[in-house]
């Protein structure tokens, strides 16, 4: 691709200062491509294009069912180009090709879901209790949206924003992570080739503080929807408050995976590995906090450690590999320091805690890590690792399981493993997290809301609420038989 990789007002342009950035595959350091490194001026130009397109009203005026049809065409085109997209995602992130293919299926499912939902909510009539009044609620697009996404699921997390924004009739400026831009560029290509009016979809690339910040600060942006880390989320919410923007935040998690003694042992164990180590733990909902009932804890942990040591690390196209690298050297340093701090605080390192060796030295591999003998309050129990690190805590009985599972400032997701349906349901209801799986881990559905309690975020993506985030409810109250109210007397005779 050329370095004209910003998409502003329907045109591919280079950064205004000619800046570029090389993207390297984290699995082996190979050069994937060179893209434009946008400036703050580029972000402001993209906002202006989105504002002008919104104010012209072309996209919002398209009837909602037809906007939905457009999303269904996007889904069909993504299906046709699935292999190209999956390969690009894998090269940018280092994740296994099969994972990128699964992500593509989820992305296609997301566009299909919002495509069908778009035409379904045409407002509602309200009974005003007065025969002379027609009162109705209409849902209008919120306006210009700033969409900021992370590197772990670059297109998927962007799709969760793009699809409902377009369904609602909004215009947007998308800013993906500077580390993983390629699939978002391909997405703009699809939207453009399918004829989305110019200025409706805009893409800026570059560092968060430079091209991301204007999306939360600029007065012409009506909503900022952000997925990423807690500290960045706080900065975005604070910046957005100056113009009272709507803010949607999808942040991190420290997600409890609670295993009762009466769980199906093999299924719980296998899923505990998935929960913690899929995508090398770079998943917001990773089950990084394993909480096991005391009576089975030793056997469960021993087996977890044995199995974790068998996990095969490797590059995205290595068919024997089961999980891949971390995203960058800087991130691997962060995970390394995180584990070292935990050990210094008293956690016992049962396995992992090392970098990949041999061929893996070309990439940013970190071995699956299990820490036990941890205490509530230790940094490894409180903070998100966002790497292949799981801590093991123990409990006795339901009360303690719930207390430990809720002992976090986050509240994104969690799981309960038990063959006692009543107990699982009771515990699930009491856990303060946005998603609870019972006897499963990780599935998410486009038709089910996703988001966090506590400091895991504000608002919801997916499901009907995921569309409402991009809409304003307007009440139109029509008095068809206006009368003089007589509230203020007409004192003509006194004048």
Ligand X SMILES: C[N+](C)(C)CC=O
By beta-carbon proximity to ligand NAD, the closer residue of 211 and 404 is 211
Distance of CA 10 to the CA centre of its chain: 26
The Cα 469–Cα 463 span in angstroms is 10
Q: Is 229 in the site for ligand NAD (CB under 6 A)?
A: yes
Among 189, 444, 449, 465, binds ligand X (CB under 6 A): 444
Phi and psi based region of residue 323 (left: phi greater than 0; alpha: psi -120 to 50; beta: remaining): beta
Task: Show the site string, 432-451: x = touches ligand NAD by CB under 6 A, - = not.
Answer: --------------------
Task: Show the site string, 170-209: x = touches ligand NAD by CB under 6 A, - = not.
Answer: -----xxxx-----------------------------xx
Min separation Cβ 318 and ligand NAD, Å: 25
Q: Residue 427 to residues 257, 294, 404, 455: CA-CA distances in angstroms? A: 12, 17, 12, 21
Task: Show the site string, 133-152: x = touches ligand X by CB under 6 A, - = not.
Answer: -------------------x
Stretch that binds ligand NAD, among 50-58, 193-201, 225-233, 417-425 (CB under 6 A): 225-233
Min separation Cβ 236 and ligand NAD, Å: 5
DSSP 362: G
Q: Calculate ∠ Cα 308-313-315, nearest 5°.
A: 160
Q: Which residues pair with 461 in a beta bridge?
A: 450
Q: Is 36 in the site for ligand X (CB under 6 A)?
A: no
By beta carbon distance, the residue nearest ligand NAD is 208
Partner whose binding site includes residue 156, from ligand X, ligand NAD, none (CB under 5 to 8 Å by kind):
ligand X
The verdict on whether 461 is a catalytic residue reads no
Task: Show the site string, 67-106: x = touches ligand NAD by CB under 6 A, - = not.
Answer: ----------------------------------------
Q: Residue 22 to residues 2, 29, 475: CA-CA distances in angstroms? A: 12, 11, 50
By beta-carbon proximity to ligand X, the closer residue of 356 and 452 is 452
By beta-carbon proximity to ligand NAD, the closer residue of 3 and 157 is 157
By beta-carbon proximity to ligand NAD, the closer residue of 14 and 236 is 236
By beta-carbon proximity to ligand X, the closer residue of 93 and 285 is 285
Task: Show the site string, 275-304: x = touches ligand NAD by CB under 6 A, - = not.
Answer: ---------x--------------------
DSSP 251: -
Partner whose binding site includes residue 178, from ligand X, ligand NAD, none (CB under 5 to 8 Å by kind):
ligand NAD
At residue 12, the 3 state secondary structure works out as strand
Stretch that binds ligand NAD, among 231-239, 260-268, 352-360, 388-396 (CB under 6 A): 231-239
Torsion angle of the four alpha carbons 245, 470, 226, 114, in this order, in degrees rounded to the nearest 10:
180
Count of residues that bind ligand X according to CB under 6 A: 7
Q: Report the candidate in 305, 308, 474, 431 with the shortest Cα–Cα distance to residue 373.
A: 305
**Parallel, antiparallel or unpaired: strands 31-36 and 20-24:** antiparallel
Q: Report the candidate in 243, 223, 110 with the shortest Cα–Cα distance to residue 171.
A: 223
Q: Calculate ∠ Cα 282-177-20, nearest 5°.
A: 135
Phi/psi for 158 (5° steps) reads: -75, -40
The Cα 45–Cα 94 span in angstroms is 32
| Residues whose CB falls within 8 Å of the CB of residue 262, separated by 6 or more in sequence, listed in order | 418, 419, 420
Torsion angle of the four alpha carbons 172, 175, 180, 185, in this order, in degrees rounded to the nearest 10:
40
Written as one string, the DSSP assignment of 89-107 is: HHHHH---HHHHHHHHHHH
DSSP 226: E
Min separation Cβ 91 and ligand X, Å: 19
By beta-carbon proximity to ligand NAD, the closer residue of 82 and 235 is 235
Among 147, 269, 278, 284, binds ligand X (CB under 6 A): 284
Which positions from 210 through 269 interact with ligand X, judged by CB under 6 A? none
Residues in the chain: 495
Partner whose binding site includes residue 177, from ligand X, ligand NAD, none (CB under 5 to 8 Å by kind):
ligand NAD
By beta-carbon proximity to ligand X, the closer residue of 108 and 401 is 108
Q: Is 153 in the site for ligand X (CB under 6 A)?
A: yes
Among 99, 103, 222, 250, binds ligand NAD (CB under 6 A): 250
The Cα 181–Cα 412 span in angstroms is 26
Q: Of 250, 293, 398, 461, which residue is the catalytic one?
A: 250
Q: Which residues bind ligand NAD (CB under 6 A)?
A: 148-153, 157, 175-178, 208-209, 212-213, 216, 227-229, 232, 235-236, 250-253, 284, 384, 386, 412, 452, 457
Q: Which residues bind ligand X (CB under 6 A)?
A: 152-153, 156, 283-285, 444
Catalytically active residues are 250
């Amino acid at each position: 691709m050329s370095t004209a990789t910003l998409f502003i007002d329907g045109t591919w342009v280079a950064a205004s200062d000619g800046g570029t950035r090389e993207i390297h595959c984290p699995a082996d350091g190979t050069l994937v491509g060179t893209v434009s490194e946008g400036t703050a001026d580029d972000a402001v130009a993209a906002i202006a294009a989105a504002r002008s397109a919104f104010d012209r009203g072309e996209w919002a005026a398209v009837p909602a069912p037809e906007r939905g049809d457009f999303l269904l065409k996007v889904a069909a085109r993504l299906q046709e180009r699935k292999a190209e997209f999956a390969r690009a995602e894998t090269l940018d992130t280092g994740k296994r090709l099969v994972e990128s293919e699964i992500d593509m299926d989820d992305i296609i499912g997301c566009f299909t879901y919002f495509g069908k939902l778009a035409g379904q909510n045409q407002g509602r009539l309200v009974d005003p209790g007065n025969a002379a009044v027609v009162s109705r609620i209409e849902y209008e697009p919120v306006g210009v949206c700033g969409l900021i996404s992370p590197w772990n699921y670059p297109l998927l997390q962007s799709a969760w924003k793009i699809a409902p924004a377009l369904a609602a009739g909004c215009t947007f400026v998308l800013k993906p992570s500077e580390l993983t831009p390629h699939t978002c560029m391909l997405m703009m290509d699809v939207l453009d080739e399918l004829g989305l009016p110019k200025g409706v979809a805009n893409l800026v690339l570059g560092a968060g503080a430079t091209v991301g910040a204007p999306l939360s600060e600029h007065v012409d942006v009506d909503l900022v929807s952000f997925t990423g880390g807690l500290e960045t989320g706080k900065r975005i919410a604070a910046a957005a408050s100056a113009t009272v923007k709507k803010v949607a935040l999808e942040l991190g998690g420290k997600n409890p995976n609670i295993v009762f003694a009466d769980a199906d042992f093999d299924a719980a164990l296998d899923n505990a590995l998935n929960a913690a180590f899929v995508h090398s733990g770079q998943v917001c909902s990773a089950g990084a906090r394993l909480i096991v009932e005391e009576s089975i804890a030793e056997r469960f942990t021993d087996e977890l450690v044995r199995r974790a040591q068998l996990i095969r690390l490797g590059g995205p196209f290595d068919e024997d590999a089961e999980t891949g690298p971390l995203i960058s050297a800087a991130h691997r340093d962060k995970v390394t320091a995180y584990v070292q701090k935990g050990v210094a605080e008293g956690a016992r390192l049962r396995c992992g805690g090392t970098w990949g060796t041999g061929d893996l030295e070309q990439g940013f591999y970190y071995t699956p890590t299990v820490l036990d003998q941890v205490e509530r309050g230790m940094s490894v129990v409180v903070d998100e690792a966002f790497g292949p690190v799981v801590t093991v805590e123990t409990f006795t009985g339901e009360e303690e399981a719930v207390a430990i599972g809720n002992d976090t400032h986050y509240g994104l997701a969690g799981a309960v493993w038990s063959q006692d349906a009543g107990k699982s349901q009771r515990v699930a209801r009491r856990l303060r997290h946005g998603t609870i799986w019972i006897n499963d881990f990780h599935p998410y559905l486009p038709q089910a809301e996703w988001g966090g309690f506590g400091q895991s975020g504000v608002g919801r993506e997916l499901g009907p609420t995921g569309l409402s985030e991009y809409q304003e409810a307007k009440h139109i109250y029509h008095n068809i038989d206006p009368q003089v109210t007589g509230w203020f007397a007409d004192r003509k005779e006194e004048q």
